[in-house]
């Protein structure tokens, strides 16, 4: 049993053994049984947990793992840092440009620690010095925690075709967008897969693949079974409580600076670094 499973058991509110027994089978299904039948599937992941964990002894730091649709040679920490006076763009991906804008971690303390906002740009077809240049349009795919870098990297040219080639298409990763699911993750089951790894610092609950795999296997094992017993509900409640406790104790230095208001300030900082005052924005959800 992993350390996570031990703590789940400690937090499990189910003290009555009767809660873990199957409900009597009747000719007429109860409303709770129908609800759980629709919602649940039999989870088999815990059966293989010991075997699979033996294959994950190597600890891989999150921020060095290549993300979906990304050039594996591109390590964002190596991109030069830009300040609000001048953006330093470097060639990246196929025909795009990338930059990292340093902004205050806490805007009430502008001289304090910084956050590095990762950006990708599909450049305007006209020069930024031209009277026809209309500035940047920022993109955010929502989520929350979705990657604007991935969005513009994949679809920036299509956006420009719709909006006009006199705009820059700029995607950015919101600060701490580190719980965004990648296609290989089970986003409906485990939304704590690998982090985006571009904007820094991150809020990361599980710092390496070994812990993430252990947690994921436990989640899969706790999926609601179709026999509609109440025991799994108590375990899912306990697991949710544990995840909240882990997040609080492991991200206490960074999580106070995660908010919609701060991301909005970051967007204004991006716009002003382009030499504009008004925000042009296309958000999704």
Residue pLDDT, tens place only, 54-64:
333 333 333 33
3-state secondary structure 141-206: CCCCCCCHHHHHHHHHHHHHHHHCCCCEEEEECCCCCCCCCCCCCCCCCCCCCCCCCCCECCCCCC
Which residues sit opposite 98 in a β-bridge? 90, 120
The whole-number pLDDT of residue 183 equals 36
Q: Report the pLDDT value the prediction gives residue 281, as an integer from 0 to 100.
A: 95
Over residues 265-274, mean pLDDT = 96
pLDDT for residue 127 is more than 60: yes
- According to the model, what pLDDT value does residue 280 have? 97
d(CA 215, CA 4): 7
Could you tell me which residue, 43 or 252, shows the higher pLDDT?
A: 252
Q: What is the mean pLDDT of residues 23-46?
A: 44
pLDDT computed for residue 198 by the predictor: 86
User: pLDDT confidence of 12, banded at 50, 70, 90?
Assistant: confident
pLDDT of residue 30: 54
Q: Pick the more confident residue, 29 or 13.
A: 13
Which residues share a beta bridge with 116? 102, 200
Please choose, from the candidates 167, 198, 159, the residue with its C-alpha nearest in 3D space to the C-alpha of residue 274: 167
d(CA 202, CA 187): 19
Q: How many CB atoms lie within 10 A of CB 224?
A: 20
Per-residue pLDDT of 208-252, as tens digits, reads 888 888 888 888 777 666 455 677 788 888 888 999 999 889 888
CA distances from 193 to 82, 163, 204, 226, 248 (A): 29, 34, 10, 26, 18
The fraction of the chain above a pLDDT of 70, given in percent, is 67
Contact predicate 197/76, CB 8 Å? yes
């Amino acid at each position: 049993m992993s350390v996570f499973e031990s703590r789940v058991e400690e937090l499990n509110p189910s003290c009555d053994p009767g809660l873990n027994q199957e409900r009597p089978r009747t000719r007429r299904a109860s409303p709770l049984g129908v609800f759980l039948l629709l919602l649940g599937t039999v989870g088999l992941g815990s059966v293989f947990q010991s075997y699979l964990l033996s294959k994950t002894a190597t600890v891989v730091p999150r921020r060095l793992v290549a993300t979906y649709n990304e050039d594996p040679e591109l390590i964002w920490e190596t991109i030069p840092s830009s300040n609000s006076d001048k953006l330093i763009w470097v060639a990246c991906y196929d025909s795009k440009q990338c930059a990292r804008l340093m902004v205050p971690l806490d805007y009430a303390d502008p001289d304090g620690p910084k956050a590095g906002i990762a950006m990708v740009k599909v450049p305007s077809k006209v020069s930024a010095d031209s009277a026809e240049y209309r500035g940047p349009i920022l993109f955010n795919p929502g989520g929350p925690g979705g990657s604007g870098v991935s969005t513009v990297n994949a679809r920036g040219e299509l956006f420009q075709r719709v909006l006009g080639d006199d705009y820059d298409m700029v995607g950015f990763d919101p600060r701490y967008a580190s719980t965004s699911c990648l296609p290989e993750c089970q986003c409906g089951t485990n939304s704590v897969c690998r982090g985006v790894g571009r904007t820094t610092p991150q809020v990361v609950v599980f710092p390496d693949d070994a812990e993430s795999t252990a947690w994921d296997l436990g989640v899969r094992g706790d999926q609601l079974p179709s026999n509609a017993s109440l025991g799994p509900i108590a375990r899912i409640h306990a697991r949710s409580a544990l995840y909240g406790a882990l997040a609080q104790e492991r991200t206490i230095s960074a999580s106070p600076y995660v908010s919609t208001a701060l991301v909005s300030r970051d967007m204004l900082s991006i716009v002003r670094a382009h030499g504009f005052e008004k925000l042009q924005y296309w958000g999704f959800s």
